[in-house]
């Protein structure tokens, strides 16, 4: 199975800050990477697909980049409603695998 | 709008089976597949498997092979996930999601399955 390593595991930032999360795959996955947001007690929500494509209806402050093994997820200006856990997921090879998650808190 | 509505919470004893349903609406059911993902308390997301609603083809996580069965009923646009020989570490919230084995773009609300003696 492809291992997905996210960092950091947790992050505290202030409203308005630029926030960056990284995700590293254990092998080349091209751009077959998604980013999900999960708020407490809720189902995950797709934010970014194919590494850099914004899902319909998702605010433009969210963005993704990268290919191969190294990927980045960015919130350009953190808002209070962005408090959540974020997961990357590869789908290049079965089984699809998730990173361990990054818990984002407001400072 | 696309909706996936799951069945309610379950409490099961070790060794029992559970069957969770996921009723889809707002799209052509047979044009997509359904993935099942679970999340143990305080833990991350674990992919369990996928079923094509078009032809019923399945792909299961190796660790669940032999214990899990995913099916669909196209007449009611409903997907099912049955997990047998339940253990305490199967306690989790189980999610269905619309998926083409790429991005899971719409998710059910989750079903809590508690395994306890």
Predicted confidence (pLDDT) per residue in B34-49, tens digit: 999 999 999 999 999 9
For the ranges A29-33, A82-86, B84-88, B100-104, the lowest mean pLDDT is seen at: B100-104
Q: Report the mean per-residue pLDDT for chain B.
A: 97
**pLDDT of B24 above 90:** yes
Q: Does A10 touch chain B (CB under 8 A)?
A: no
Predicted confidence (pLDDT) per residue in A29-85, tens digit: 999 999 999 999 999 999 999 999 999 999 999 999 999 999 999 999 999 999 999
Closest CB to A46: pick one of B47, B101, B104. Answer: B104
What's the mean pLDDT in B75-93? 98
**pLDDT of B100 above 90:** no
Contact B13, B115 (CB under 8 A): yes
What's the mean pLDDT in B84-113? 96
Phi, psi of B35 (to 5 degrees): -100, 150
**Yes or no, beta carbons of B102 and A89 under 8 Å apart:** no
| The predicted structure's pLDDT at residue A74 | 98
Beta strands in A39-92 (DSSP E): 45-49, 53-54, 62-67, 70-75, 84-90
Query: Which pair of structure tokens corresponds to residue B40?
Result: 């143990």
Please choose, from the candidates B115, B104, B21, B42, the residue with its C-alpha nearest in 3D space to the C-alpha of residue A46: B104
Which residues on chain B are in Cβ contact (under 8 Å) with A10? none
**Yes or no, beta carbons of A101 and B45 under 8 Å apart:** yes
**pLDDT of B22 above 90:** yes
Contact B95, B108 (CB under 8 A): yes
Query: Which pair of structure tokens corresponds to residue A6?
Result: 């996210």
Closest CB to A43: pick one of B44, B47, B109. Answer: B109
Relative to beta strand B10-12, strand B111-115 is parallel
**A94 or B101: whose pLDDT is higher?**
A94
| Look-up of token digits 């980045």 | A72
Query: Which pair of structure tokens corresponds to residue B101?
Result: 């084995």
Q: Does A46 touch chain B (CB under 8 A)?
A: yes
Task: For chain B, give the percent of residues with pLDDT over 70.
Answer: 100
Please choose, from the candidates B6, B3, B14, the residue with its C-alpha nearest in 3D space to the C-alpha of residue B91: B14
Q: How far apart are CA A49 and CA B65, in angstroms?
A: 28
What's the mean pLDDT in B23-29? 97
| The predicted structure's pLDDT at residue B101 | 86
Cα distances (angstroms) measured from residue B26 to each of A26, B4, B5, B96: 37, 9, 11, 15
Q: Does A90 touch chain B (CB under 8 A)?
A: no
Relative to beta strand B58-60, strand B46-52 is antiparallel
* Residue B84 pLDDT class (50, 70, 90 cuts): very high
| The predicted structure's pLDDT at residue B110 | 98
Closest CB to A95: pick one of B47, B104, B107. Answer: B47
* Residue A88 pLDDT class (50, 70, 90 cuts): very high
């Amino acid at each position: 199975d492809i291992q997905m390593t996210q960092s950091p595991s947790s992050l505290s930032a202030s409203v308005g800050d630029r926030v960056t999360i990284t995700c590293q795959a254990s092998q080349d996955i091209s751009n077959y990477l998604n980013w999900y947001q999960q708020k407490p007690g809720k189902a995950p929500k797709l934010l970014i697909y194919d590494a850099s494509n914004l899902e319909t209806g998702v605010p433009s402050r969210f963005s993704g980049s990268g290919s191969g093994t190294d990927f980045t997820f960015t919130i350009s200006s953190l808002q209070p409603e962005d408090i959540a856990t974020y997961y990357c997921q590869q789908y290049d090879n079965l089984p699809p695998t998730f990173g361990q998650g990054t818990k984002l808190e407001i400072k | 709008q696309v909706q996936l509505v799951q069945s309610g919470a379950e409490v099961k004893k070790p060794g029992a089976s559970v069957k969770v349903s996921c009723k889809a609406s707002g799209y052509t059911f047979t044009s997509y597949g359904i993935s099942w993902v679970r999340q143990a308390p305080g833990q991350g997301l674990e992919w369990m498997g996928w079923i094509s609603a078009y032809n019923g083809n399945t792909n299961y996580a190796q660790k669940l092979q032999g214990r899990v069965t995913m099916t669909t009923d196209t007449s009611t646009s409903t997907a099912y996930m049955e997990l047998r020989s339940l253990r305490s570490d199967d306690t989790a919230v189980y999610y269905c999601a619309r998926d083409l084995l790429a991005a899971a773009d719409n998710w059910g609300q989750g079903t809590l399955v508690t395994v306890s003696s």
